[in-house]
Amino acid sequence: MFKLSDGAPFAIRLLTLLQALLLFTTISFASVACADTHADQSMDVKKTPAGEYKPQYIPYPGPDLTPKFGSDEANDPAAPSSQPSSQTLKAPTEGRIRAGLSSDLIYAVLVGEIASQRDKHDIAFKHYLYAARLARDSGMAELAARAALSLGQPEAAMRATDLWVELDASSSKAHQIAAYARIDAKDRAGTLAELNELIRLASDSEKGFLQAAQMLSRVADPEDRMQMMRELVAGDIDNADAQFALAMLAAGAEDINAAQKHAKRAIELRPDWDSPRLFLVRLLVADDQLDEAISAIDQFLAAEPENQEMLLLRTQLHIDAEEYDSALALFDDILERIPEQPELVLTAAVLALQVEALDKARNYLTLLRKMGAHADDSAFLLGQVEELAGETEQALDWYAKVRGENETNAHVRIAGIYLKRGETERAREILQQLRDQFPADVTALYLIEGELLSEQNLTQQAFDTYSDALSKTPDNADLLYARAMLAVEMDRVDLLERDLRRILVNDPDHVDALNALGYTLADRTDRLEEALSFIERALQLRPDEPAILDSMGWALFRKGDAESAEPFLRRALDSMFDAEIAAHLGEVLWALGRREDARKIWGRALAEDPKHEYLLRTLGRYRITQSGP
């Protein structure tokens, strides 16, 4: 803090006063002028070079509408004892302030500025508020309010906002921050008064009610939040803007029924207003009321057939329902109605590629290239299309054209093609070149190489690749885990145990290592108690993970406790239908004498994944075929 000692020589005090005058006129009044200039603009979250904090409103509804402020070390700000009563001060004009600067005012503003820059918001608050009262200046009052909010001191902020509103009663920003402070101070009546004034001052009804709802989202209790909003709109109950604000506030409080009710009322009051219609559809989708959502979308599109947002939402519902043909047909319809939309074409192409509608994907991507948009993305995706189609030469040509963020991935896919062709050395040379070119990605590229080699059943080469990488970074958990998984395929439980235990030495709570070690010991050894100890620890850390539930069920079954095993395997299969989990549950049911139930589980798994090796081995042991035992 800058302060002259009373014993300082006169010359030094004079020099410092001149410096203060210079700083004040070039910095402090610039801050005040800036504050005045932007008094009616919406708040933004940034800390200016002068240390001023400006809260930002996140588009409502959002997860947290709290402006973020600085200091955690501040104390309760109290006004200086020498501070005069605001009732004894007259309001000078800006020119009078500039012409008649007092040393007290200069000193207060200067110390406030320096304290704010140094995040000493308690000191800044005291001096800004003193300056605001002395000069009757709303800009200084705003700075004082922000400093108090930075401290988490809403009562102090209220002293500043009361002065600010007194000096500039027509400032929406003043009432916003005043409401903010009163909400934090749990001043219900004061909050409602400020929000009523905010609504009155708003340029239009929608903006005013939405701002009020946005502020009330800070109220901790959802029911109190809604009740306060109802009181605000009591005189405008048939106002569509008010009903929409209620809907959004209810959604933020996760009261979906109330949100839907108010959104529907807003639509009734203003049938041609799109915003509540879109909002209602999203509410219906979020609440899994898909039939009603589809009906609402279709009604909307009947009136506005080219509404892009609704068309895309309808497409997304098809995708969620795995109705991919319908989704692609709707994309075609959208692109006929709204041509020259590169982003839509790219989205349609990705969907077509995902469902392996290769001709359609190729057509979309060709159209995208004709538009001259997304050249690198389209080249990369066309490479994947041709690779899936078995046209490897064309795929290589497209991958070679890729630049930008997908270039490395394109080279990886080139290496993968060479591996599938049996050109192992050529593929590995490409991957080594990538490691040389991108040293920051060395570990990821080793992992990719090992995975590609493993996919081609080159297990020993994949194992050696991971070993080479681990010689450089011996404690890398990802590499150790990958090598351990290959050790299982090589039937080397000793190597798996060595690598997984090394991971656990460095990270005792590594859930995947705990689960893998426990499952392998249960499946491949008779060390069942030890296996269960690892799995139990993993389950404590991640109690709803299907893979860990499966491991627990399987370990209990291997221990001879089929009845205890079944609930774990049921939970696992309910969370994620997987052929290996189904194989395990079928074995347990078979052991419990419920053979028909076992056959049903196995039959469903076989229908969904007819080539799953583990499942087929299990069925073979029980002499189960697709036509029955």
Determine the pLDDT at residue 22.
40
The phi and psi torsions of 46 (rounded to 5 degrees) equal -155, 155
Torsion of CA 451, 455, 458, 463, to 10 degrees: 30
Determine the pLDDT at residue 38.
35
pLDDT tier at 101, thresholds 50, 70, 90: low
The phi and psi torsions of 509 (rounded to 5 degrees) equal -105, 20
Other beta carbons within 10 Å of 48: 13
Q: How far apart are CA 499 and CA 550, in angstroms?
A: 22
Nearest to residue 150, comparing CAs of 172, 179, 181, 127?
A: 181
Q: Is the predicted pLDDT of residue 77 greater than 90, yes or no?
A: no
Among 118-132, 203-217, 425-439, 533-547, the least confident range: 203-217
Mean pLDDT for the stretch of residues 66-75: 30
Mean pLDDT for the stretch of residues 411-431: 95
Other beta carbons within 10 Å of 299: 12
Residues pairing with 625 in the sheet: 628
To the nearest 10 degrees (0 to 180), the angle between helices 392-400 and 407-420 is: 160
Nearest to residue 533, comparing CAs of 507, 557, 551?
A: 551
Q: Is the predicted pLDDT of residue 163 greater than 60, yes or no?
A: yes
Q: Is the predicted pLDDT of residue 94 greater than 50, yes or no?
A: no
Determine the pLDDT at residue 201.
87
Torsion of CA 501, 505, 511, 515, to 10 degrees: 20
Mean pLDDT for the stretch of residues 293-312: 83
Nearest to residue 315, comparing CAs of 339, 331, 301?
A: 331
Mean pLDDT for the stretch of residues 585-600: 97
Q: What percent of the chain has pLDDT over 90?
A: 55
User: For the chain, what is the mean pLDDT?
Assistant: 82
Q: Is the predicted pLDDT of residue 576 greater than 60, yes or no?
A: yes
pLDDT tier at 551, thresholds 50, 70, 90: very high
Q: Report in angstroms the alpha-carbon separations of 352 from 61, 422, 542, 565.
A: 33, 29, 35, 41
Tell me the pLDDT tens digit for each residue of 190-244.
888 988 888 888 888 788 888 888 888 888 888 888 888 888 888 888 989 889 9
Q: Is 7 exposed, middle or buried (0-12, 13-18, 19+ CB in 10 A)?
A: exposed
Would you say 289 and 280 are in contact if contact means Cβ atoms under 8 Å apart? no
Tell me the pLDDT tens digit for each residue of 249-267.
988 888 889 999 999 999 9
The H or E element that residue 46 is part of is strand 46-47
